[in-house]
């Protein structure tokens, strides 16, 4: 029986109430069963089925979650949890909620330093300065950029069984797995949204920023920042932006010709698995875009001299046309096109290399065969 794609998306959306490991093992079976029960014309789940799935999913999460003392020890001092809860740890390391926890941890640190500590000593909450905001931005981005190497290290510590530990069907060991590559279509679309937002903010800052900043005395031990309005856009800035637009257009034409010539000639990738951008990738783009918008706001309102917004605007205007071309090629091109293929072809003008398998976690019974 062929399942309507709309019905399948509806099932997958509500199955997210279940743990990731449960969905990985049973999602296809449950989808087929629900499709049989709903009938061939169903395009989405009924309200009663949705309520039942969500209730059962959260019950499964609570039932398979470690006791609070183990969760706190794992979160606070990075201690291993008992073997029966290794599946929960695997979901925590590889799951979609990891970026959100990173940003929440940063928010908690900021709240403690800027609000709770001043209140504890009888002071007023502190307003974050530019340096503090930069530190928060760098800390968030640094945590999010920790890639597969860090996840493998955490997997070795928390998931691989210790010597003498009995192997079960849920035990994981390190073995050779297919290399994950981001899809070209989803990744280029995500980058276009982020870069376009950053470009609009940077261009607004370039047009609205005051032309001069200075300091003036406002009394004893008082210095005020003074900004002067600007009459029109400076000629050097106009030349830089127009040149970036022209060069970006030429880069887009070159990228289109190169992609059309080399995409059909790509080597077959047997050791690759295409995946859509994960929440971690979306969070990275979100943090970078928020940083660019924040810098544009600071410079556009005259708090600091205009510099970074010009660099961001020029860089985005140079890169955005080629990225749009890559997105169009990915949208109409082969389904197995990865973002790394597009990047390799556009940046080097050569065919991408053949991927090799990489080390990853696999079920113990499979890893020992």
pLDDT of residue 221: 56
Does residue 147 belong to any structural domain of this protein? no
pLDDT of residue 120: 76
Q: Pick the last residue of a domain from 64, 83, 108.
A: 64
Does residue 145 belong to any structural domain of this protein? no
Distance CA 332, CA 328 (A): 6
Q: Pick the last residue of a domain from 64, 81, 98.
A: 64
pLDDT along the chain (369 residues), means of 10: 79 88 86 85 87 92 90 86 84 72 71 74 69 66 67 80 73 83 94 94 85 56 54 76 94 94 92 88 88 87 81 93 94 91 92 89 62
pLDDT of residue 368: 45
Does residue 343 belong to any structural domain of this protein? yes
pLDDT of residue 287: 85
Q: Pick the last residue of a domain from 25, 48, 64.
A: 64
Does residue 174 belong to any structural domain of this protein? no
Give alpha helix (H) positions in the chain.
5-14, 20-38, 47-63, 68-77, 86-94, 98-111, 117-120, 130-144, 148-158, 184-208, 235-262, 279-300, 308-332, 339-348, 364-367
The verdict on 47 and 188 lying in the same domain is: no
Burial of 63 (0-12, 13-18, 19+ CB in 10 A): exposed
Does residue 330 belong to any structural domain of this protein? yes
Residue of 362, 331, 175 whose CA lies nearest to 263: 331
pLDDT of residue 174: 79
Does residue 69 belong to any structural domain of this protein? no
Distance CA 232, CA 21 (A): 59
pLDDT of residue 9: 87
Could you tell me the pTM of the whole model?
A: 0.75
Does residue 289 belong to any structural domain of this protein? yes
Residue that is written with structure tokens 């979609």 in the block: 96
The verdict on 227 and 356 lying in the same domain is: yes
pLDDT of residue 197: 95
pLDDT of residue 303: 74
Q: What is the DSSP code (8-state) at residue 61?
A: H
pLDDT of residue 144: 66
Domain range for 313 is 183-362
pLDDT of residue 102: 67
Does residue 94 belong to any structural domain of this protein? no
Domain count within the chain: 2
């Amino acid at each position: 029986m062929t399942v309507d794609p709309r019905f399948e998306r509806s099932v997958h959306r509500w199955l997210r109430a279940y743990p990731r490991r449960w969905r990985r093992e049973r999602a296809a079976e449950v989808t087929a069963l629900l499709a049989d029960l709903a009938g061939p014309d169903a395009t989405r789940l009924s309200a009663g089925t949705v309520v039942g799935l969500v209730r059962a999913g959260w019950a499964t999460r609570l039932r398979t979650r470690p006791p609070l003392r183990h969760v706190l020890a794992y979160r606070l001092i990075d201690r291993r949890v008992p073997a029966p809860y290794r599946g929960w740890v695997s979901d925590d390391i590889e799951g979609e909620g990891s970026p959100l926890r990173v940003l929440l941890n940063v928010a908690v640190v900021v709240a403690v330093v800027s609000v709770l500590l001043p209140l504890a000593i009888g002071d007023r909450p502190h307003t974050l300065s530019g340096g503090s905001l930069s530190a928060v931005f760098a800390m968030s981005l640094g945590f999010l950029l920790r890639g597969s190497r860090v996840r493998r290290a955490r997997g070795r510590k928390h998931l691989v069984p210790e010597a003498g530990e009995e192997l079960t069907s849920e035990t994981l060991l390190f073995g050779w797995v297919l290399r994950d590559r981001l899809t070209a279509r989803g990744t280029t679309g995500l980058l276009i949204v982020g870069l376009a937002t950053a470009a609009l903010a940077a261009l607004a800052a370039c047009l609205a920023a005051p032309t001069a900043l200075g300091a003036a005395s406002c009394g004893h031990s008082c210095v005020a920042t003074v900004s002067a309005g600007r009459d029109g856009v400076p000629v050097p800035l106009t030349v830089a932006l127009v040149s970036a637009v022209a060069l970006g257009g030429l880069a887009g034409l070159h990228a289109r010709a190169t992609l059309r010539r080399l995409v059909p000639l790509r080597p077959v990738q047997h050791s690759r698995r295409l995946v859509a951008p994960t929440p971690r990738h979306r969070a990275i783009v979100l943090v970078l875009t928020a940083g660019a918008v924040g810098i544009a706001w600071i410079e556009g309102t005259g708090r600091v001299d205009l510099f970074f917004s010009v660099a961001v605007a020029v860089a985005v205007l140079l890169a955005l046309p080629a990225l749009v071309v890559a997105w169009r090629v990915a949208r109409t091109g082969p389904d197995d096109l990865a973002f790394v293929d597009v990047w390799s072809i556009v940046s080097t003008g050569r065919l991408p290399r053949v991927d090799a398998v990489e080390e990853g976690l696999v079920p113990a019974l499979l890893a020992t065969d």
